[in-house]
Each structure stands twice: as C-alpha cells, then as structure tokens.
Structure 1
Amino acid sequence: MSDNKSNLTEYLTPLIPLAPVLSVKSLSFVTSKTKKQQSILGCSNKLQLTSGRAAIAIALEHAGIAKNDEVLVPAYHCESMISPVHWRNATPVFYKININTSINVDNIILNITPKTKAIIVTHYFGFLQELTSIRAVCNEHNIILIEDCAHAFFGSLNNQVVGSIGDYAIASSMKFFPCYDGGILASSTRPLGNVNLKKPTLIFQIKAFFNIIERAIYYKRFGIAGKGINALLKVKEWLWNNIKSVSGEHYTCNSPASSDGGYGLEEDWIHKSTSVASNLIIKQSNTKLIIEKRVENYQKIHEALSGLTTAHPLFTKIENGFVPLVFPLYVDAPEQSFDVLKKQGIPIWRFGEYLDKQITEAFCPNSTALSAHVFQFPCHQELTNQELNWMIITIKKTIK
C-alpha cells in the first residue's frame, strides 16, 4: 500500500502491520447480519480482480476509452491511477482539488473538451466525496464517471452507498481485508458479464495462501498455534526446495506488483481474477467488526493527536457513515519526522508522494501541499490495543 519510492532498505520492516493481517477474530462470528454492510459489494454487477489499478484499466476498456481520448484525473493522485489511462493510449488531464481533498467541480468543468470521455473521482482515505454535482456534469456532457473507492470499500453519504453513483466503481480489497491480492470492479447500471477473466495459475494460488499465513505469523496473530504452523511452513519449504533440486526444474511465480507494494500496471495481471484464498477471506470476513474497529481506532488516534502544535488531523472529524482507510495527519515539517518515524518501525503511507511532473505548486498548491505534508497511519481492524498505543506515543514524541 506504500506510495513511497525511497530506498526502503534504510528502514525497519514496520513493527506493526500497515494493512490488515489474518487473525482468528478476522473470520469470527460471520453471519448474514454481519455481512450485510453498506459497501461497494452492494452493486448489482461486480468482478473480483487482482487489484484496484486493474479495475480502473478494465473500466476504461469496458467504456471504450481509446487513443486520443482524454480522462480527467485529480491532481492529487498516485501512479496506479495514471498507468491504466496510458494503457488505453488515452491522455490524462489533471483537475484541481481543495485542501480538504474535495473535488473542484468548477475546475473540472473548465477542463472538459470534446475529447473528454471519462472522469475519475477519488474518495480519499475513506472520506466520501459529494457526487451529486459531478454526476450531473457527467450526464450533461455524456462523460463516464469512475468512482475510485480504493480508499473507501465501505460507507455512505446522504443515503448514497459508496460505489453506487459512478458508471463504474473500483476498490482495493487488500487495503481493507487480510488478502494477498484483490480488487473490485463494480457497476449499478452496466452489466459486466462480457468481461473475460482468467484464473491465476495454481502456483500463484498457493503463493497467495502461504503469503497470507506467513504474514500473520510474522505479526504474531496466531499466538501459540503460530509456532506449530510456522514449523509446518518450514517443512513445506524444505520439501519444495528438494523437489526442485531433484527434478532440476526452475519454478518461478510472478505476482502483481500491487501485492508486493510495487508500482505501475502489468498487462498480464489486468484480466486475472482474485486468488481463491483472498476471495474466501473477503467472503468470510466479519465486515461489521471491520467497520466498527476502524472507526473506533480512528477516533482514538484523532483524540490523541489533536493536541499537537506542529501537526493536525487532516479532517476535523469523521462523518457518520464514513469508514476510514487510514488516519491522515498534516505535519508542518514532514522532512524532520518522516525518516525518524520510519526508522523506529512506525508504518507510514504517503499517498501521492510522487505526483506527475505537471503537478506543480503553481498548478495546484493544494495537491502539492497534501503530497508533501500528509502522513497516513494505520487504523485498521487488526491492530491490537498495545500496537495502537505504542504507535500513538511514538508519533507524539517524534513530531513534538
């Protein structure tokens, strides 16, 4: 989930998980009631893919976006939002956003030309955009609206469920569930049955399963049982290495870059479905627990960090119905604390840290400010109280 292209070998592996990891409680008490939460999965048409960036690519393809077409993209963005546009040989055209991450509808209108075929609108950090006005603009100009829910798998605003307003909606399952791979393409109005997907190879399916388990063991989520599972994994590794040495065959297993914190869009992974292991976790997870814990953790961090004199929460409060991806903190002097926090093992995500070269302070000062100053810290459902408290204390000491 990281958007940081720095030399990560300088830093510790985060001492607590940036994204959810599998635990016993992840899948506990799953009932029809806990599953029926407001989410992008409520759209009538949906596909389970490998990543959110693959979902954007297929949405553009399905909408017929082609060479010389223009796609409006927010100036505050990451590479994963741009590479699918280039994959369609279309041109990304950037529009301005406000300092609170809301879209600048007037600037969007100024950028619309006869070549404009689609607009991507992002729900940053799980804080939902008000889409009524931009929906009307798209209807008036016959433009496709892609609702980017990569940060907002769950939630609603003004009785409008996330993912239900766009012609297409995309999400990143890996950010909200303890998966190795996973993305959603959904639509409430457009059938997606004509999209042909291939299943990942068996060896990738096995890799996805073991990656989920190994990550859970690394962060000690299985308790005493984890030691026994870890021993079995070592036996598995020993057997696998012996099979390779005896057979003389070279076994490789490529993975989508999105699963390992990479960048860009690999064409081979666009039309692939989610692995069986990741898909099963999504279906069996207690979504009611996910929502409640994320909101609870967010509010705890907000209360603890609101008193800082050299930083402040990006949002003054979390609205009812919003389900946060992370806790975004606006830091006045980020260069003084980023490295220190990383070297202490604090998990930090910096969305939009590297913007397109067109995005200068003169073009959109809000986007460059957010890119430089906003740190995002985890608030996901799998954090323990001990981990959360340690993170809060370390952040407060460092940023002071």
Structure 2
Amino acid sequence: MEPRIGGRPTAHIIEYLRKPQHPKQQHYPFSCQRSFFYFSSRYALADGIRALGLRRGDTVLLPAYNCGIEIEPFHYFGLRTEFYQIDKELKVSLPDLREKIKGNIAALLVTHYLGFPQDTEQIKAICNDHGVFLIEDCAHALLGSHNGADLGTYGDIAVFSVLKTLPVPNGGVLVVNNNNFRWAHQQLEPSRFSSAFYVADLLRQKTLPRGGLNVALESGAYGAFYQGMNIAKRFIAAARKISNSRGLSLARPDSYDFREDLIPWGTSKASERIIAGTDMSRVKKTRRDNFGKYLAWFLAERPAGITLPFTELPEGVCPLFFPLIFEEEGKREIVHARMKERGITTYPWWDRFHPAVPWDEYPDAVYLKKHLFGLPVHQDLEPAMIERVLTEFADLMQH
C-alpha cells in the first residue's frame, strides 16, 4: 500500500494525553509575556480589536486577498471595512496602500501569506505616519522571522493560528505589543468533545509510511476512533435540535463560522501538551527542507501552465505549504481531486468570496482565489513522501 499523505501534521494519540516533559515552550510567541491563548485565531483577533479600543463606526483597512473569516470579527464589532490591493506575487501594493490609508482609517491588517513576510518596515512606517494601528495577521506565519525579528513583533497587536502549523485540536494566539494597552484574557477551557473530535479527525487523515501490518492496524484504529466520535457527534446534534441548545460542543476551530460565544474559549489541555512538547526548531527546519525539495524540482522541470509566486525561500520563513499558480482556470480543482484519489491531500486555496469585498475592483485577488494551489510541506513528511508527491503530480500534468 502506498503511504497516505495527509494535509496536516499529527501526533501520536498518547501525546495528546500525557504530561509533557517541558511544561514551558521557549519559542515565540508562546514565550511572550503578553501572549494570550484562544480557541482559534479569529477569536484572538476579536479580542485584539477590543484591546486596541476600536469602536463601532471606525474604519479598518484589510487586504483584498483574504480567507473571509478574518473580516467577521470586524463586522461583529460594527467596524467598517475597506480594502487594498494584493498583487499576484502575494505582496502588498504599497502605492495603493499609501493612497487608501489617507482616509479616516483607524487600523490596518497586514497578512504574511503562507509564511512569507510583507515589507513590514515600510508598512509600519506608513502606519506611524498616519497614526494608524497595525494588526499583523500571522495565521500562516507561526515560527517565522524577517530581518532577524520574529513575525508578530512589528504590529501593535499580532494574531497567530497554531493549528495551521502544529498538530493541535485548537489554538490561536494574540500578542499585544503596544505597551499603551493593557489586556487580560481569563480563558475558558474549550469543550472536551470538540477537542477530542478534532483529534480524531486529524488522526484519520494521518500521514502514514509505506504499508505493513502495524501501519494497517494503526490506520484501522484511527478510523474506528473517528467513526465512534462521528456517531457521538450525530447524537449530540440531534439532542441539540430537540433542546434548542447552542451546541458549542460541536464547534470546530477551522469552520467558516464566527460565534461570539467562543471568544472566551482558550486552548485545550491537549493543545497545551502538544505545544509544550514540540521541538519548534525541527518543525521549521523540516518544513523549509521540504519546501526546498519542491522548489528545486519546479525550477528544474518548469512544467508548462504553472507559475511560482515565490522562486526562493528567504531566511527565516517557515512555509505553510508550497504554492503554485495554475494559469488555466479550473485546473487546480481537477488536480486536487485526482491527487486525492491517489491518497495525497493538496490545497485549492481560499476559494470562497466574502460578500463584503468589491471583487470587481481587485482582479489580482480574484485571480489568486481561482488559481492558487498548494502542495504539503508539513513536518510529518519524509523525503520519500515528497518524491512521491512530485511523481504523482508530474504524471497528472502529462495527462
């Protein structure tokens, strides 16, 4: 049996349960005294909005290329959202930003897409010149740095998504860098069922080496665990309808919903154990090494109909995945489906269009929404697995 290549890293089930040997993680942002922990990054952002003192009716400037869920916390607090250009190389258009920020803007959100830093020094200077708060969106950029400084240290606040990089069932971080603001977050423990269900979902998609009896047994056990949790989920959903309850136990940190009830939730004990026990340097090195293998192949082979938004891996970047752009619309969905049939998870990235964005004004953002595709680089992948991804990808591109 060929190895299954999942889209996210996972841990052994025991690691979600046992007490870590190193109770305090020393890597930023976990070591920062003014870091606060949440169920996911959208709720970290929601509390960050409150920490900055933004008020109903204030205007915030957001990147036109976005997931969509990061818009929801601003709308929840009654803020107006305007947008600025992102080019096809996933870079902030500084001329457009300078023009847009001249208005009555209270805060600017800047996103380090896929772990690659924006021109943070220039953007910070623009914000300072106009008295605008800078919010660093580091959801893709955990463990990343730029010019020797950790990403997340440039903004007045910064938000991180832990679950995009580490095998946790939930986790977002808010860092308050601006010393003019005081903030406290008395976090509530998330639903244990929600955490357990997400762990089961992670494990059923676990990246596994080439098959053998032990691998087959492990895969079967994880599949059974997920099926059992899924049955329990259906019972809870049915009971929720009968009782008309809020059903918070079914909440997922990666859903597209924004629910105010989840703002007080912190990270689970399972997530804390994984964070504390993870060798962050190894995670970053592995992801960079895997990215480098893809990059070398694509630069050598130069497959037709594909462009690369990044043709080098700058020092300090901890990549989320390896991005490429299919020039033909619809091609990425075909490749995604066929790679999935072969047991390989890929990413047709950010294909949803939030209604708040005037998409006709941002053709580059629309292009990225329809064409950007990703291959996995996460820390569970061994060199042979990267070779298999490339072999399968090359085969598909020839047919």
Q: Normalised by the shorter chain, which TM-score bucket?
A: 0.7 to 0.9
Q: Could you say what secondary structure the match of 2:294 adopts?
A: helix
Structure 2 residue 349 is matched with structure 1 residue 351 = yes
- The whole-number CA distance in structure 2 between the counterparts of 1:211 and 1:196 is 23
Structure 2 residue 117 is matched with structure 1 residue 128 = yes
Give the equivalent residue in structure 1 for 2:89: 100
Identity %: 24
- How has the CA–CA distance of structure 1 residues 88 and 312 changed in structure 2, closer, same or farther, with 3 Å as cutoff? same
Scaled by the length of structure 2, the TM-score of the pair is 0.82
Q: Could you say what secondary structure the match of 2:249 adopts?
A: coil
Structure 2 residue 288 is matched with structure 1 residue 301 = no
- The whole-number CA distance in structure 2 between the counterparts of 1:238 and 1:15 is 21
Structure 1 residue corresponding to 2:325, chosen from 325, 330, 333:
330
Structure 1 residue corresponding to 2:386, chosen from 362, 385, 388:
388
Contact 1:43 1:163 survives alignment (8 Å): no
Q: Could you say what secondary structure the match of 1:254 adopts?
A: helix
- How has the CA–CA distance of structure 1 residues 254 and 343 changed in structure 2, closer, same or farther, with 3 Å as cutoff? farther
Give the equivalent residue in structure 2 for 1:198: 188
After superposing the two structures, state which structure 1 stretch, 288-297 or 106-115, moved more: 106-115
Structure 2 residue 277 is matched with structure 1 residue 279 = no
Shift of residue 158, structure 1, vs aligned partner: 1.2
Contact 1:217 1:226 survives alignment (8 Å): no
| Letter matched to residue 194 of structure 1 | A
- How has the CA–CA distance of structure 1 residues 166 and 229 changed in structure 2, closer, same or farther, with 3 Å as cutoff? same
Give the equivalent residue in structure 2 for 1:215: 202
- The whole-number CA distance in structure 2 between the counterparts of 1:149 and 1:372 is 23
- The whole-number CA distance in structure 1 between the counterparts of 2:153 and 2:86 is 22
Structure 2 residue corresponding to 1:162, chosen from 148, 151, 154:
151
- The whole-number CA distance in structure 1 between the counterparts of 2:207 and 2:393 is 23
Give the equivalent residue in structure 2 for 1:7: none
Unaligned runs of 5+ in 2: 209-213, 237-241
Contact 1:68 1:115 survives alignment (8 Å): no
- The whole-number CA distance in structure 2 between the counterparts of 1:350 and 1:179 is 22
- The whole-number CA distance in structure 1 between the counterparts of 2:328 and 2:85 is 24
Give the equivalent residue in structure 2 for 1:321: 316
Give the equivalent residue in structure 1 for 2:107: 118
Contact 1:69 1:116 survives alignment (8 Å): yes
Contact 2:193 2:249 survives alignment (8 Å): no
- The whole-number CA distance in structure 2 between the counterparts of 1:105 and 1:41 is 31
Shift of residue 240, structure 1, vs aligned partner: 7.8
Unaligned runs of 5+ in 1: 1-13
Give the equivalent residue in structure 2 for 1:226: 218
- How has the CA–CA distance of structure 1 residues 234 and 87 changed in structure 2, closer, same or farther, with 3 Å as cutoff? closer
After superposing the two structures, state which structure 1 stretch, 55-64 or 334-343, moved more: 334-343
| Letter matched to residue 167 of structure 1 | D
After superposing the two structures, state which structure 1 stretch, 330-339 or 217-226, moved more: 217-226
- The whole-number CA distance in structure 1 between the counterparts of 2:226 and 2:99 is 59
Contact 2:189 2:265 survives alignment (8 Å): yes
- The whole-number CA distance in structure 1 between the counterparts of 2:7 and 2:227 is 28
| Letter matched to residue 253 of structure 2 | S
Q: Deviations over 1:142-170 (max 9, x none)?
A: 21110000010012111221100000000
Shift of residue 311, structure 1, vs aligned partner: 0.8
- How has the CA–CA distance of structure 1 residues 61 and 126 changed in structure 2, closer, same or farther, with 3 Å as cutoff? same
- How has the CA–CA distance of structure 1 residues 213 and 263 changed in structure 2, closer, same or farther, with 3 Å as cutoff? closer
- The whole-number CA distance in structure 1 between the counterparts of 2:221 and 2:162 is 25
Q: Deviations over 1:260-309 (max 9, x none)?
A: xx213111112210111112111211111101110011111112233212
Give the equivalent residue in structure 1 for 2:177: 188
After superposing the two structures, state which structure 1 stretch, 264-273 or 381-390, moved more: 381-390
Q: Deviations over 1:329-387 (max 9, x none)?
A: 111114134224324414232333233454435x2332222222210221110123443
- How has the CA–CA distance of structure 1 residues 74 and 238 changed in structure 2, closer, same or farther, with 3 Å as cutoff? closer
Give the equivalent residue in structure 1 for 2:259: 266
- The whole-number CA distance in structure 1 between the counterparts of 2:126 and 2:133 is 10
- The whole-number CA distance in structure 2 between the counterparts of 1:72 and 1:146 is 10
Shift of residue 187, structure 1, vs aligned partner: 2.2
After superposing the two structures, state which structure 1 stretch, 133-142 or 222-231, moved more: 222-231
Structure 2 residue corresponding to 1:342, chosen from 321, 337, 341:
337
Q: Deviations over 1:87-114 (max 9, x none)?
A: 1111110001232212122212211255
- How has the CA–CA distance of structure 1 residues 214 and 225 changed in structure 2, closer, same or farther, with 3 Å as cutoff? farther
Contact 2:36 2:173 survives alignment (8 Å): yes
- The whole-number CA distance in structure 2 between the counterparts of 1:75 and 1:265 is 19
- The whole-number CA distance in structure 2 between the counterparts of 1:298 and 1:292 is 10
- The whole-number CA distance in structure 2 between the counterparts of 1:67 and 1:231 is 47
| Letter matched to residue 276 of structure 1 | K
Q: Deviations over 1:27-63 (max 9, x none)?
A: 9xx988x9544x4335431111011111111111221
- The whole-number CA distance in structure 2 between the counterparts of 1:237 and 1:100 is 41
Q: Deviations over 1:173-218 (max 9, x none)?
A: 0011101111111123346543343222xxx224414542563255
- The whole-number CA distance in structure 2 between the counterparts of 1:87 and 1:170 is 17
Shift of residue 257, structure 1, vs aligned partner: 3.8
